[in-house]
Chain A
Amino acid sequence: MSGVDVPYHLRPNKYVDRQIFIDLLHRLDRVRSLARSVYVSMGGKFLDDHKAVRFAFDLRGSVSIEKFERVVSRQNFNKPFEDVSCLCSESKDFVSGFSAFRANYPEDTNFIVWLDFVNPKERLIQLEEFSTLVGFGKPFDVFRITLNANAETLKGSAAQKPPQFKTIMDWRLSIFESQLNRFPVSATAVEMTTKAFPNALARAVGVAAQEGAKRRKFVVRPLSVSSYADGNHTMLSVTTILLPTEEADRFMAAPWISDWRHRAPDWSTVGRIDVPDLSMKEKMLIDRHINMMDDVQIAAALGFELGEDTDSTLTKLSQYRRHFRFYPQFVRMV
């Protein structure tokens, strides 16, 4: 499992990924109000995302789906608003019953659904669920999926590479292909590395989404595609929107969307989130100069390496520059 039990404030990359999602929702809200939307996610015991989303937007409601009854009880204690509905349901049952679920809401309701998965062994099922969800979608629904994108999870039970595969990457490719045979993406062995694997998986998400939208009166477009390290695992998040076929291009060309720096140009260009760990003092120094200095100048101003060498320091600074507006600032309260 990824850091499923680790609180958000110890997972800065995940936090940044979620803040980018909220930033995206702000932009979508400008183009088409989210006031008639209902937010659905697997909120975990603290419902952190529900807090963030419900405080930021005036929504029609929010629903958390949770497999374990005991966690649902805890969610009911922790929920920020009384109208957060905490359902005890597995994602597969929720998704296959999504059409009946949405029929309980007024006709003009849209849904923002985030399926947040961690188990790499169930990738095919997870993609199928996403595909089914899209199939039950309506124009202007926003569907998001998070998957384990750790290339190392592509190995058999014994870690010994069978002799018919030339390299470990060839072996992983064969496992990847058999895992996701329903959503073929013509991946290559070169992509079966920690760094490149999210690209191949993102394409599979694209195929699954488009499979769900096949022969429907709407299209599905990627809004953001990002990967990040969460503990020892690499995760991939893809956020999509369903749009009426004839309006899709116009919607995507709206400046709030097209000018957004984190917008995914296609299904397979993955934005990397890998923010550095910084002390408050380091962060304040970088923030102070960030609009006036380039990364080399900031590195000099710091006077020490943030990474192992100059290159690595510059990479970390560039990551920070790209994401600093979303960087968490946690301080001890009591």
Chain B
Amino acid sequence: MANTDDADDANITPPTIFAGPTKRFFISMFTRDIELKDAILDMLDNCVDGAMRHSGRDLNADRPYEGYWAKIVANSERFEMTDNCGGIPRDIARGSAFRLGRPDMERDKALPTIGMYGIGMKRAIFKLGRDAKVHSQPAEGPFLVHYDKEWMDEDNEDWDLPIDWTPAARQDGLGTTITVTDLLASVKEDFSRDSAFLEELRDAISTYYGYIISKGFSVELNGKAVDPKILSLFSTDDLGQAGMAPYLLQGELDGVRYVVAVGFRRPLATESEIDDEQDAPRTSDDAGITIICNDRVVTLNDRSRLTGWGENNVPKYHNQFIAIGGSMSFTSNNASKLPLTTTKRGVDAATEVYLTARTYAMEGLKSATAFTNKWKGIEEETESFFQKAKPMTVSVFEKAVTAELRDVREVAAKRFNPKLPMPPAEKPTRRISFTRTAVEIDEVAEYLFDDKTRRPADVGSECFNYVLKDART
């Protein structure tokens, strides 16, 4: 028999239904979208942002991060990240810091920060383990938040988090310590001695935070400082003469300073090296253009159209261009002006400042690829140019090249166009390439050199010289 009771009817067809999130979504699902390494880098972003907020320094200064540090301890028992970056201000702790998502997007809008959504720390905690303490000491005094096992229970729909406003104070200045224990099994495994993960993490920190570290920030992983890994390009001292030097352009557009550098990070690859690279790519990984926003590497060694490869007369990337490296660096004290996507993890390639910088990166690529192509097959002859030059970081080169910079007419920028040495034009060269069996090559090597171990390229070349002599007599 049908139940016609009013109260029961409302239960069956309530006027509203609950459409809020479940804790399970945040704790177990949301963390699937991010790799552990990136989650930890997100936490480092918070440290750097904190340092900029705390110092109020200008990013264009020489070493804006000087004196700030973050120390990471990661082992099978616990993960801990401590920084001295000013701590989380109490009002932010009360308001948004522990909310899942930032209610106020305007905060920090005019600061050179890189974090944005207010999810980085929380997501990283959930990714790591099921018990976490956040101890922070801003100028107003310390506080402690404890995500305990009960709160982390996916079925527990209680979202309130207890906060202790009178914990013990830390001794090493203002900052934050995040300690995660009860690590997830997969995390324990990654943090164990047998795993390569911690080396990969160190590598990622040295690469993605290389520019920040080189400008004064210090990062320690398990007690050992992380060394910065940043791009160096070959340059001679005498920039007025023909020789190896990077292309460089410095410009400014709507409050964003951009610097484009394209050059050679190593001598040209010989033919046999290019062949080896085809079979087992190694050094090619470091070729390409790196995009940097406020010193944080956003895209590493790009070799696609994003940075202009394969477009408008710039050749597509190929292993012969293995020696070419470069960077497009954007700096603004107002982070919202940077060419970043809303996640701040990718480049917004449709922005005016990015497109402008890309146009000039292509100009640099054009000259570097033309140099490579012109010396193709006679790469050895360029060795002396590289010997006369030495690797320089882009910021060192910027200082060295100051007197040589010339105004660009169509945009507000200054540029240095290197005079890369070119082979003499009066005798155009053509490449000859052919394949023979190894046995045959050995046979000819023995005939010509009395030495079976000579390189196939030498054998081929000597064959040609041999016949050429005959042809001329």
Residues of A within 8 A of B (CB): 92, 95-97, 99-100, 102-103, 105, 107, 109, 125, 128-129, 131-132, 135-138, 214-217
Contacts and interface: CB of A to CB of B under 8 A. Distances in A.
Contacts of B265: none
A45 to B, nearest CB: 22
A135 B408 CA distance: 13
Nearest to B410: A138
Interface in B36-85: none
A103 B415 contact: yes
B406 interface: yes
Contacts of B409: 99, 102-103, 105, 107, 109, 138
A92 B352 CA distance: 24
A97 B418 CA distance: 13
Interface string B106-142: 0000000000000000000000000000000000000
Interface of B is mostly: mixed
Contact of A100 (B312, B351, B352, B417): B417
A215 B360 contact: no
Nearest to B247: A100
A103 B407 contact: yes
B350 A215 contact: yes
Contacts of A97: 363, 366
Contacts of B362: 96
Q: What are the 9 closest A-B residue pairs judged by CB atoms, nearest first?
A: A215-B352, A132-B312, A138-B410, A128-B312, A96-B366, A92-B313, A102-B409, A215-B355, A96-B313
Interface in B168-207: none
B311 interface: yes
B415 A215 contact: no
B406 A103 contact: yes
A44 B193 CA distance: 72
10 contacts: A97-B363, A99-B409, A99-B410, A103-B406, A105-B409, A109-B409, A214-B355, A215-B350, A215-B351, A216-B355
Given A102-B410, A215-B352, A216-B356, 16 more contacts: A95-B313, A96-B312, A96-B313, A96-B366, A99-B360, A99-B410, A103-B406, A103-B408, A103-B415, A105-B409, A125-B313, A129-B312, A136-B359, A138-B409, A214-B350, A215-B350
Contacts of A215: 350-352, 355-356
Nearest to B407: A103
A68 to B, nearest CB: 13
B363 A96 contact: yes
- The interface centre, meaning the residue of B359, B406, B409, B417 with most chain A CB atoms within 10 A of its CB, is B409
Given A96-B362, A103-B415, A215-B352, A137 B313 contact: no
Contacts of B355: 214-216
